[in-house]
Amino acid sequence: MSEFIELPRWAEWLTAALVLCSSLFALSGALGLLRMKDFFQRMHPPALASTLGAWCVALASIVYFSALKEGPVLHAWLIPILLAITMPVTTLLLARAALFRKRMAGDPVPAEVSSRRNDG
């Protein structure tokens, strides 16, 4: 890594802007986690970091390495796809557990949406 490789100016600016954008979304997500009042509200803001936050970093990486290698390097986009596939697992688990606990505690959350079978 001794040799300094010159990137085109536009690629440098675009990469910097995208990374900055991504950090802004991650910051908003963290701030939301801090400021929101109840559990279900707090589930929303961190999604900013795992959606647009992650997308911007992936885009920045694509722009940077495509400019560096002078050809499209698109495989960083796999990260947002894999994130989107795995995110529902944890989110659903947390939401269901919170609903269960709040119902047990008698907090004001909607009743179960499933109607119980009569034959049981």
Partner 1 sequence: MKRLFPAPWLSLVLWGLWLLLNLSLSAGNLLLGAALAVLAPLLMAPLRPLPVRLHRPGVIIGLVLRVGADVVVSNLQVGWAVWNAGRRPPNSAFVKVPLDLRDANGLAALSMICTVIPGTVWSELALDRSILLVHVFDLADEAQFIEHFKTTYERPLMEIFE
Q: Which residues bind partner 1 (CB under 8 A)?
A: 25, 28-29, 31-32, 35-38, 40-41, 43-45, 47-48, 51-52, 75, 78, 84-85, 87-88, 91-92, 95-96, 99, 109-110, 112-115
- Tell me how far, at minimum, the Cβ of 9 lies from partner 1, in Å: 26
d(CA 26, CA 28): 5
Nearer to partner 1 among residue 115 and residue 118 (C-beta): 115
- Tell me how far, at minimum, the Cβ of 57 lies from partner 1, in Å: 14
Nearer to partner 1 among residue 16 and residue 97 (C-beta): 97
d(CA 10, CA 108): 53
Nearer to partner 1 among residue 11 and residue 28 (C-beta): 28
- The DSSP 8-state label assigned to residue 106 in this structure reads T
Neighbouring residues of 14: CB distance < 8 A, sequence distance ≥ 6: 60, 63
**Do residues 54 and 81 make contact, with C-beta atoms less than 8 angstroms apart?**
no
- Tell me how far, at minimum, the Cβ of 14 lies from partner 1, in Å: 17
- Tell me how far, at minimum, the Cβ of 89 lies from partner 1, in Å: 9
Nearer to partner 1 among residue 12 and residue 24 (C-beta): 24
Measuring CA to CA, which residue among 44, 54, 46, 48 is closest to residue 18? 54
**Do residues 95 and 103 make contact, with C-beta atoms less than 8 angstroms apart?**
no
